[in-house]
Structure 1
Amino acid sequence: MTKHLYILTGASRGMGLAIAEALLQAGNSLLCISRHTNDALAAAAQKADVPLWQWTQDLADGQSASERLRMWLGTQDVTQLSGATLINNAGVIPPICPLSQSQPADLALALRVGLEAPLQLCAAFLGATEAWPVARRVLNISSGLGRSAMASQAGYCAAKAGMDHFTRCMAMDEALKANGAKVCSLAPGVIDTDMQVQLRGAAGDAFPDQAKFAQLKEKGLLSSPQQAAHQVLSYLARAEFGHNPIGDVRD
């Protein structure tokens, strides 16, 4: 029986972990790339009899991650696959403060993990699978902050805006190919994750929108990681996925 291969970054916690758990279904195989492995995920995969690989990889070094992925994909037996999908979910939010107070190392980390690594992984995935005669998809997890600026969020906004734009370029490239991949940069909504904790806990004088994020939690307006994962995977499964390279689960 052929399987659909999923490759997922940032799978050890939050929405990434919820996506990984939801993908542990018959007919799938899953490669997770994260800073840490997750024992519970491994146990769940064994129980579900779903092939699972977990790579411990710091995506601040996207070059190493992408080279490893390209080589690994080259060893796969495509006759045993029904399709392949890359989901770039990993990201880092730097300390919340005006750009004038940001540290170069924090900004570099946010851009390496949130922009550079996804760009490199997309290149590796698309290049290694270009001749595969199966459907291929790329889902980049973006953010509304890639499309609307926010004070004290320059690093994160820049990474997500860059992700949106390189996805547009990637879609144009793939549209010229006979079996080009379908690609989309998707905003997943507002989710109750560690990032939200960081935003709510920011100092009000350094982050003018802090009160707004606190109210989202107080009013119960945040999606759970499981709800967000369901919405993201439902969007990925749409027949029209990739018709628009920029999307939002709320559309």
Structure 2
Amino acid sequence: MYILKYAIITGASRGLGASAAQKMVSEGIHVITVSRSENNSLKQAAEQSGAGYTHHSCDLSSEDQVLSVFAAIADDVFKKAEAVYVINNAGIIEPIDVAGELDASLVQKNIQVNLTAPILISNLFLQKAKEADSKVVIANVTSGAGERPIQGWSIYCSTKAAVNMFTMTAGLELKNSESSSKVIAFSPGLMDTDMQMTIRSSSEESFADVDTFRNYKESGSLRSPDTVAEALVNLVLDNDLENGRIYKVNDLL
């Protein structure tokens, strides 16, 4: 019997999100991308492979847009899906600056995109899965920065630490309620992405470790998004996930 599967991926226009979406398409899974702009090469790949593909434009820094767009997606997919996967991948690093010099509007945007949006999306899909007597697998993309302080990254470190705690707590709740749904976090390590370019362009006053990150690029220490995405998708599709666990790419490759 044919099983209809859906993968909803935020921030899929580039980087890890785009690579994960491509991998899902190659697995024959209907991909729903959510970002401000559409990835045309992904759209073409889906059309050529015959895999389903849908794009929703959404500004994840807008609570109203997040709630309306994802409610519509959830209402649609749970009517017909046998399996639903959500990858909360979208994230921003800015503001990169020391406390006392932070831009208030960038602080608010960072918290909304990195933390509030994944929580709202997870909450909504867990609710809809329960109502539909179905299940959902949610992967929240986190960072090693959520486990240690890094000068200039106070907001990014804080939001990723909070994502980790939300994931662990939600996973505990799902386990205690004997739910079939899963919530995990995935730490992708160092990747060659636009975020890394932003980091490398920081000033030493704002980010003391900027030379270290420039050396990562120069020495070829950054993994490709495709390599990391393959590990992420293989993990999400694994039936033996541990609820609330923070999986690290170094343990999967």
If the length of structure 1 is used for normalisation, what is the TM-score?
0.93
Is the 1:7–1:30 Cα contact (8 Å) retained in structure 2?
A: yes
Q: Provide closer, same or farther for how the CA distance between residues 247 and 83 of structure 1 changes in structure 2, counting only shifts above 3 A.
A: same
Assess if the C-alpha contact under 8 Å between 1:62 and 1:121 holds in 2. Answer: no
Residue 89 of structure 1 corresponds to: 89
8 Å contact from structure 1 (residues 63, 117) kept in 2: no
Deviates more, 1:199-208 or 1:14-23: 199-208
The answer to whether residue 197 in structure 2 is matched with residue 197 in structure 1 is yes
Q: Which runs of 5+ in 1 are unaligned?
A: none
Superposed CA RMSD in Å reads: 1.7
Matched-pair contact (CA < 8 Å) for 1:174–1:181: yes
Aligned partners of 1:67 and 1:124 also within 8 Å: no
SS in 2 for 1:206: coil
Structure 2's unaligned 5+ residue stretches are none
In the TM superposition, what is the alpha-carbon distance from 1:81 to its structure 2 partner? Answer: 2.5
For structure 1, which segment, 204-213 or 10-19, has the greater mean C-alpha deviation from structure 2 after superposition? 204-213
- Deviation of residue 244 (structure 1)? 4.8
Q: Which residue of structure 2 aligns with residue 105 of structure 1?
A: 105
Contact 2:16 2:229 in 1 (8 A): yes
SS in 1 for 2:82: strand
Q: CA deviation at 1:236?
A: 2.1
Alignment correspondent of 2:118 = 118
Structure 1 vs Structure 2: percent identity of aligned residues?
Answer: 26
C-alpha distance in 1, partners of 2:162/2:72?
26
**Matched length:** 250
SS in 2 for 1:11: coil
The answer as to 2:41 corresponding to 1:46 is: no
Residues 200-245 of structure 1, C-alpha deviations (whole Å, 9 max, x = no match): 1211222111111111111111001111111212222334322452
One-letter amino acid of the counterpart of residue 125, structure 1: F
1:129 deviates by: 1.3
Residue of structure 1 in register with 2:151 after alignment: 151
* Pairs within 5 Å for 1:16-95: 16-25=17-26, 27-76=28-77, 78=79, 80-95=80-95
Shift of 1:25: 2.8
Contact residue 56 and residue 69 of structure 2 kept, 8 A: no
Match of 2:169 in 1: 169
CA–CA separation in structure 2 for the residues paired with 1:75 and 1:226: 29
SS of the equivalent of 2:177 reads: coil
Structure 1 residue 168, shift from structure 2 partner: 1.1
In 2: Cα distance, 1:135 partner to 1:242 partner: 15
Moved more, 29-38 or 62-71: 62-71
AA paired with 1:12?
S
CA distance in 1, matches of 2:224, 2:50: 26
Instruction: Report what 1:12 is aligned to.
Output: 13
TM-aligned CA deviation for residue 115 of structure 1: 0.3
| Cα 1:137/1:77, change in 2 over 3 Å | closer
User: Residue 48 and residue 157 in structure 1: after superposition, are their counterparts in 2 closer, same or farther (change >3 A)?
Assistant: same
Aligned match of 1:213: 213
Are residues 228 and 26 of structure 1, via their aligned partners in 2, closer, same or farther at CA, if it must alter by over 3 Å?
A: closer
Q: Distance in 1 between matches of 2:217 and 2:237?
A: 29
128-137 or 9-18: which moved more?
Answer: 128-137
Alpha-carbon displacement from aligned partner over 1:170-228 (angstroms, at most 9, x marks no partner)? 11221133433111111111001111111112112221111111111111110011111
8 Å contact kept, 1:130–1:180: no
Find the counterpart in structure 2 of residue 188 from structure 1. 188
The offset of 1:77, in angstroms, is 5.6
Query: CA contact under 8 A between 1:94 and 1:110: conserved in structure 2?
Result: yes
Following superposition of structure 1 onto structure 2, how do residues 228-247 of structure 1 map, counting pairs within 5 Å? 228-247=228-247
User: Could you tell me how far apart the structure 2 residues matched to 1:90 and 1:75 are?
Assistant: 22
Q: Note the alpha carbon deviations across 1:85-137, whole angstroms, 9 max, x for none.
A: 11000011113211211110011010000000000000111111114454421
**Aligned to 2:76, what secondary structure does the other structure show?**
coil
